[in-house]
Amino acid sequence: MTFVAPFNLLKWLMQRILLIALLIAVVVTATLLAACSDESSEPTTEAEPGEVGAQDGTITVSKDQPLAYAQALVQQAIDRYGTDGRQATIDFYNSEESLDGDWHVFILDEAGYIASMAAFPAWVGVHDSEFKGYKDYPAGQMVIDGAHEEGIQIDYLARDFFGNIDLNHLWVVKHDGLVFASSSWSGEEISKSDQPGYTQEQVRLAIGLYEASGLQAALDYYNSPDSVDEQWYTFIVDTETGRTIGHFNPDLRDRDPSLRVDSTGYFYGDDLLGATESGDWIQYVITNPDNGEEQLKHTWAVLHDGYIFASGWYEDP
């Protein structure tokens, strides 16, 4: 048995520690050199969510982010237009090669006619105003009217294959006279059983139509009985005059605001005209056009750009 003096033992331990430290330093240095070599041999350009990669035109955002993906898809089409030209781009987006699973791009010409739509070729040559959402909501005309260089999201309701009502979205950009738009994606199913939520959605869509196509387009649609959806209808009030200017019932348009008295004698005119930009609920008893009965109505009213957009649902007795 060999005995090691304390001093020699300490020296022996120190030598081993230094050797281990040296080995660790060598391994770390080699790893860093390898990483640097990989980075320098494969340069990359990062893209923000929703952008197209600068190196090869590929989309760098996930389809799990549908708005960002739609924006990137449209930007990719605009980039192709810049490199390949008008006709080649139109031809490409009329080909199956352009289809990206459930996603696609469609293009409108300067007059609003569909120039490219590979997913639905029968629509090529059709004016986009022919495309309607649920209850003939003028979604196609909104694409034409609302498109601009910064881009706009167009929302509309549509029935799916199972008859459910879905809230759909489009991303639309106007570029060099053409309109580039993504295929629609569905955000969520909208149920009439959620009466307050469905009511608020009607008002939001009315404001969307106003923003995309203007006041007259909104009045033309909501003054039509075709816009009535069972118990739901939207009406528009001019806050300067206090008069209703948009309503499916012509007898209620341009009527004296002092006549806003319900069947119980309650004057609800002040409540209506007091609506704020964040929206307010007001209640009054009025005839339900769906069944002709007098019922308590819950109206959601939103002040927007000098007009009040409102719709409501009726409480069962």
Pairing of strands 152-159, 185-189: unpaired
The dotted CATH code for 229-314 is: 3.30.450.20
For residue 80, what pLDDT band results from cuts at 50, 70 and 90? very high
- Which DSSP category does 162 fall into? T
3-state secondary structure of 30: helix
> Residue 101's pLDDT is what?
92
For the cut 50, the answer to whether the pLDDT of residue 32 exceeds it is: no
DSSP per residue, 230-289? TTB-EEEEETTT--EEE-SSGGGTT--GGG-B-TTS-B-HHHHHT--TT-EEEEEEEE-T
Q: What is the CA radius of gyration of the chain?
A: 31
- Which DSSP category does 309 fall into? E
pLDDT digits (tens, 9 = 90+) for 185-217: 986 789 999 999 999 999 999 999 999 999 999
Two domains, one topology: 66-189 and 229-314? yes
| Cα 189 → chain centroid | 14
The dotted CATH code for 66-189 is: 3.30.450.20
Contact between 277 and 288 under an 8 Å Cβ cutoff? The reply is: no
161 Cβ contact partners less than 8 Å away, ≥ 6 residues apart: none
For the cut 60, the answer to whether the pLDDT of residue 94 exceeds it is: yes
> Residue 25's pLDDT is what?
52
Domain ranges of the chain: 66-189, 229-314
- Which DSSP category does 64 fall into? T
Q: Which residue has the higher pLDDT, 174 or 20?
A: 174
Pairing of strands 178-182, 165-175: antiparallel
3-state secondary structure of 25: helix
178 Cβ contact partners less than 8 Å away, ≥ 6 residues apart: 81, 86, 107, 108, 109, 110, 115
Distance CA 229, CA 246 (A): 16
What are the backbone angles phi and psi of residue 223, rounded to the nearest 5°?
A: -80, -5
Q: Which residues of 26-62 are buried (b: 16+ CB within 10 A; e: fewer)?
A: eeeeeeeeeeeeeeeeeeeeebeebbbbeeeeebbbe
Whole-prediction pTM: 0.81
For the cut 50, the answer to whether the pLDDT of residue 45 exceeds it is: no
